[in-house]
Amino acid sequence: MAPLIEEHPEVTEELTEFAQVSRKTQGFLTPCLMESAKGHEAVVLGLSWKKALETGAFVSTPGTITFQVHSSTDPATVLCAVLKPNAHEGGMPWYMTYAGEDKHGVLANVAVPGTTVDIPEDAEPVPAPTPAPAPVPAATPASPKPAGAAPTNTRDLRNYAFMWISKSDGHHVNALEEIASRALPEPWGFGEGDYSILQSYITQTFYKLRLDGMVLENKGRTFAAMNSGLVTPRYEDLYLCFVPNTMSGKQPWTYAGVCTQFDNSNKKLSAKLCATFPEMPQRARFFNDVSDIVFDASLGTPLCNWEHIIIENVDRIPTDFIASQLYGRQAAEIRELVESIDYDPDRGSDGDPFGDHAKGLAGEQFDELRAFLTENPSYFNRIKAAMDGALDRACVRAAYSFRTGVPSFYPAINDIQILLPLCLMDEDVPDCALVTNKDEHGRYEGRTILTLRMAYKNARLLCRPESEWLSV
């Protein structure tokens, strides 16, 4: 386990000490388990995690840990669970995003076939625990944490630095305002006073730089800096600088300001930056080959995980489109429910670079819709066929213009993705974006969908999108 702890120091032998496992995720696992294990999903996951550490039945990357889950109904079927860093302040360091069949063969070379875990005799079957509600993204600085508290994400800027700055008049200014005032002008939000695009950009850029060891700290840890990847109107690189945080129990660093290498408007900080580091911090590098950021239409239409796209992410699909596919007497009641849902799919993702899903009443209504589509495959297939058609049109469009496929980067998987527009209600107006990746054989796969705001935030990480369909 030592190498795993070195890579992810917050990981322990007890799954519940560092990872949140929701009711929904445990529910995905239930149908895959033998009868004696059903009702003990949390126990199975905890024991499987320990067994995986003992046998090496896991695959770890900087942004994902996939481990084998035992007690499958079919000994020849490998089950897995996927853990990813938790971006929410105040939550567990990791959370489980999936539990079920290892459909992509991630564990093919490490899985131990045909094994089970021994559930204690005194273990009573219990309902899956209710997941903790996702915190609302704060508009104020993060609250102090108890001394010695585990970080929620070791590569998260919110855990690294206090991102406000004190002005000479005693006022505190959000760092985003200062950064936006120095950078080459562009839309940094979706309305006046909104910096959600810039917040997403800075957060994810930091994550990538930290992942690659490119956030510089001097030996005495008295000064730190990163290249923001942004430039001034004169195309000078802008650097974010940090000094130690003197407030006990808070982030180890505090934002000191933004400057260029030779900055007349912030001479003191600029001089400190140049004197501390022999070379200026480098920009984040997101790809090695230009072909990685261009959609190659000659490879054919992406193969899509429609069940994940339609069922799990149905709250990112326009309800008008869903309702239009729910015709017929059998769907009258669910169509009425869908038409009554009051939810803006972008509302949940503002200020959150990793996106979100509907909560509250709307979340319950979407859960009813998910259950209906699961139990009535004919209606699922209608929606799938319509989205297949939209994807075919997107691929034709991409073959005509390479600018149709918009490159983006998602730090959680540390990989380039290509976004394609899905026009569902009007063939000329995109409603959402399909996220595509190349698999190990070089073929495109459609992994998930994003709202247009979420898509813009992910695309902005590489550069300001210049596509004809993706804009603020």
For every residue of 418-464, DSSP letters joined together read EEEEE-SSBTTB--EEEEEEE-TTS-EEEEEEE-HHHHHHHHHTTS-
CA distances to 14, 183, 442, 445, 457 from 66, in Å: 15, 39, 22, 19, 27
Q: Is 415 exposed, middle or buried (0-12, 13-18, 19+ CB in 10 A)?
A: middle
Comparing CA positions, the residue from 229, 194, 280 lying closest to residue 464 is: 229
pLDDT value at position 73?
80
Q: Which residues have a Cβ under 8 Å from the Cβ of 124 and sit 6 or more positions away?
A: none
The DSSP secondary-structure symbol of 315 reads G
Strand partners, 164: 174
Cα separation, 235 vs 260, in Å, equals 10
Phi first, then psi: what are they for 109, rounded to 5°?
A: -95, -5
Domain boundaries, the chain: 2-101, 157-276, 290-460
Locate 391 and state its tokens. 């994807």
Q: Are 116 and 34 in contact (CB under 8 A)?
A: yes
CA distances from 344 to 1, 198, 375 (A): 44, 21, 26
**pLDDT, tens digit, for every residue of 275-305?**
999 999 999 988 877 777 888 888 889 999 8
Query: 84: buried, middle or exposed (CB in 10 Å: 19+, 13-18, 0-12)?
Result: buried
- The reported pLDDT for the residue numbered 152 is 35
Give whole-number Cα distances, 413 to 61, 266, 372, 408, in Å.
8, 36, 31, 12
Helix (H) or strand (E) holding 367: helix 360-375
Q: Each residue of 363-411: pLDDT tens digit?
A: 889 999 999 999 999 999 999 999 999 999 999 999 988 889 898 887 7
Tens place of pLDDT per residue across the chain (472 aa)? 556 766 777 888 889 888 888 877 888 888 888 888 888 899 999 999 998 888 888 888 777 889 999 888 887 888 999 888 876 655 678 888 888 888 777 888 888 877 788 877 766 665 544 433 433 333 323 333 333 333 334 457 888 988 877 655 555 668 898 999 999 998 888 888 888 889 889 988 998 888 888 999 998 899 999 999 999 999 999 999 999 998 877 889 999 999 999 998 889 999 999 999 999 999 998 887 777 788 888 888 999 989 989 998 899 999 999 999 998 888 899 999 999 988 877 765 333 434 467 778 888 899 999 999 999 999 999 999 999 999 999 999 999 888 898 988 877 667 788 999 999 999 889 999 999 988 877 888 998 999 988 888 888 888 877 677 787 6
> Pairing between strand 237-244 and 253-259?
antiparallel
Structure tokens of 16?
A: 């519940």
Q: What is the pLDDT of residue 183?
A: 93
Q: How far apart are CA 163 and CA 180, in angstroms?
A: 14
- The Cα 187–Cα 460 span in angstroms is 11
Quote the crossing angle between the two packed helices 332-340 and 360-375, to the nearest 10°. Answer: 150
* pLDDT for 274: 94
Cα separation of 280 and 228, whole Å? 12
pTM over 0.75: no
Closest among 238, 247, 246 to 273, alpha carbons compared: 238
- pLDDT on residue 136: 35
Say if residue 147 is exposed, middle or buried (CB neighbours under 10 Å; 0-12, 13-18, 19+): exposed
